[in-house]
Structure 1
Amino acid sequence: MPYLRMPPARRVCGDAALWGVLAAATGYGFRDAGASASPVWDLSLPLAVLAIAVPLSRRRPGTAVVLVNGLCALGMADPATPANAQVLSLAALSCLLGARVAAARRPLLVLSGCLALDLVTCAVLRTQAVWWFYALTVLPAALLLPWLAGRHRRGRRELVREGWRLARSLEERQHLVAERARLTERADIAADMHDSLGHVLSLVALRAGALELSPDLTDRDRADLADLRGTIADAVEQLRETVAVLHDPAGTEPGAGLPLTDTVEDLLARAVASGVPVRWERRGAMPVLSPLVRRGMYRAVQEALTNAVKHAPDGEIRVRISHEADRTRVNVVNTAPSGDRPVCAAEGPTIGAGGRGLTGLRERVTVLGGSLWTGPYQGGFRVTAVLPHQVAASPDTAASRPETPPALLGPGPGAAYPAPGTDTGTPDTGTPDTGTPDTGTPDTGTPESVARLASVRSAARRRSVAAFVAPAVAAAFFAAVYLAWQLTTSVLPPSRFDELPLGRPRAELAALLPDNAYPYPPDHARSAPQPPGTRCEFYRSGRDLLTEVDLYRLCWSGDTLATKDTVPASRPTAP
């Protein structure tokens, strides 16, 4: 059974709201047309066409405009008037055409075709000059002006989006520059240590070696001097390792100790050529990685291989590199060594990437915003590094996040799930494993440009809503106030109505009459028969604004009151 992809609820609600507005305009036009309107051609058909055109405007906005323009052309067949309510729908869909189509050539062809159809309709129907004027002014304005407004909105939106993308790029570059400055400072510290302390220790070791050759020393003194020289040599080696942690070659990126052309594939190929039993696989397409992340992945594989060869020289090694949407996972597992040799992978210095060991590897991964897990696994040892494709903005706080166990190796070549109760080398955090371990990036690492963009978008939405809602609310308020004023100033109390004598001039009755006549009498009151040659005015009989009240009708012959009567609030029913 084929899978049907449902559109998002927000899109469906937007289309439904637009259709509701256009359907309301269509219904109002049908009601205003009166008895001459056809329920099928003037109501049902436009509603059905709008129900198709509104959702179609997302994928084929040009076709939607053509459909609604057909309704406008059909409306020009009306012999009474060429205007119809579909002009509003045509303007709305033309605006969507400009907002949703970047190119201008095809929309202009659509608009030109619509205008040509309207003019051909006028020619075929042999309409009067008013219809030609409508087709040459109103319909082009409904097509072209909203389309230009939609294109302006689209261009402004793309300009703002591109500006924020540039700001985000500059912010990431600023973070990289700050990280380079920090690493440069560490290199300066390493150079000072090497030039001062390293030189002094070398001199001390040289003088101790010279004293061993003195003929005046006893054998015990020579043994003590040999031990002293060995201790100094160990101190020099430890200093060299410390300098290797802090120092990177000047003018290169951190971790640039490997050749620029050396890859993980080259590293694994050399290991296999050296007789190391390595099996490896790559999952996912190789993404475009920055040099920092690429070299971090190289160091993770190199250190894990070195650790496995040192502590389990005859054990099998499985390497898996999985590229996900925003991160790369490096998983290296070695089996248990043969015989009774225990698995040992201390966090101290090991031979490998610059002598830094797993501690140095953890520091490098953390600086990149990733996470590193190490520990026993099925009798052997596992090293898992998760590196983000983009360097984190605040890597210094990454280590403060609690670690969760990485996803276990899935079934594959040489891999198996751990048996129940097997120690994975990481403490249980009490949280379910979702298969995507925490990369160590804190929640506060969101780029400032992203937060600023969200704030500006929210403010823009509020201003847009206020720009439409505030005028509507103000118009409704003043309309309600004006209507209430008209209703309250056109009230003629029953007592005063009874006091009005017939045949008296208006000047004498002005004190009994309200300031204004009631301007909205119902149709049955307007159509009631009146004496010939008279002009009738209507007044409300009460001040109740929420219910309909009876009306008083005063008919004047010139300035003289000819007749007065009462008109019921509701239309009288026929017997």
Structure 2
Amino acid sequence: MRRERRRDRLTDLALWAVLAGSVLLKSDPNDGGSWWWVGVGVPLTGVAVLLCRARPLLSLVIVAVLSGWQSLELFTPSYAAALVAFGYITGRRTATARPALFTFAGIAATGLVLSLLLEDLWSWFAQLVTLLFTVVVPWLVGRYVRQYAQLVSAGWQLADRMEREQEAVADRERLRERSRIAGDMHDSLGHELSLIAVRAAALEVDPSLDERRQAAAGELRQAAAEATARLRDIIGVLRADGEPAPTAPGAETVTALVERARNSGMAVELTEDSAPSALPPMTDRAVHRVVQESLTNAAKHAPGAAVRVRLSYGEDDVTVRFTNERQVSATSLASGGTGLVGLDERVRLAGGTLTHGPDGEGFRVTARLPLTSGAAPSPVPPAPTSARELDHARRRVRRGLVQAITVPVAVAAVLAVLVLGFRMYSDTRTVMDRGRYDRIQVGDTRADVLTRLPRLSLDGPPPGVQPEPADAGRCEYYRARKYETTPAYRLCFKDDRLTSKTIVTDVDNEEDRPR
């Protein structure tokens, strides 16, 4: 355990060194503001690395905020590697997909709000593309790796379980045969001992024998009777399947059992409803065994994890719910397995049902037991086959692989449709009528000109046009025709007045013509 922790710390330290190096190398030494960002980004990247094992989503959010603060498009040279790394780590170390999906949606929604406030919707589209390829795709790859590891682990678990089941079957056959031999011994030896006792009784009353010999025969008869009774008691322990199980409960209560576990260092929380005056013997012993076996498994397979035990009493049954927060070793779920099998048999003979299995990152055991005496044993449930479990694990991995391929493609297709739609919308909203352009005069105030302009302008000068005139102020460009960038109208403002108006074209085709 210490070796694994040391290795984890070294891995985290190496990850922080790589990500911090990216922040340092991509900073401009001539820009004083960038050094301020280094002073903030390097420590916060270290915090994200520290949290990535317990709270990987929080680490991803920290890096996303750092990257988004530098650029609304989310893609920055300083934090691109960090986004990819923490996206993968989130998929690798998060059991369920829903929290991650909510986080991605929250990042996209925040970007949309900021883009609308800044009137720069194209940055939001760029942010979505960055989110898809630097976060979502690595997250899907991480989930696939996690599911593949679970498949491999499930295969080893099933192989180990099959070996143990084969050993258990062999042990049961040996015990069954020994039970038959013991029964045969009981029948034969008991019959012989009974005959010896009868013959000794006959000798005890034989008048031809003196008193000493009659006393010896009486002692022989009594010894044979005692040996017969002792043999019946010993062999009777090997009861047949149809005979009732022992019903005497132990003296220790569930409260005392939990208190003993607390004294040993376990963090156990017991919640118990008001219990009836007395439970049936079989139910009482089964409740005790469920809690005892569950505490033993938690101490063995998840040391240090918080444990919760709840006893709920209904009108006809009592429910025992046992949960622990985390499962340290995935292979420990399959180690042995005989404890849960025996526990299931104990609950079944008491007339109840037992369910158990992973619950998120932890483990759960639930038992329902009747409150009436003499309840018939529950039917034996069919054991799950290894082939079915392995097939389920394979389907889960295949589904993860399909998601890793189809989700980015589907999201990219949706983004393409959105970008195309917005492009077509912007093309129609950035076109200026020639008549409006002619009515605009140099020297007009910006307020008067805005009343004649389209709602949107181009993001910048069209490609290939001549540079803007010196001291022209801020220039804006508008299309002359739909779906064409040139020719375009250029209007330049300075001190809230129009200083120049020009029709610009591609310099390879036509010179700029002032108007």
The structure with higher relative contact order (CA 8 Å, sep 6+) is: 2
- Between structure 1 and structure 2, the one with the greater Rg is 1
- TM class by shorter chain equals 0.3 to 0.5
TM-score by length of 2: 0.43
TM-score by length of 1: 0.39
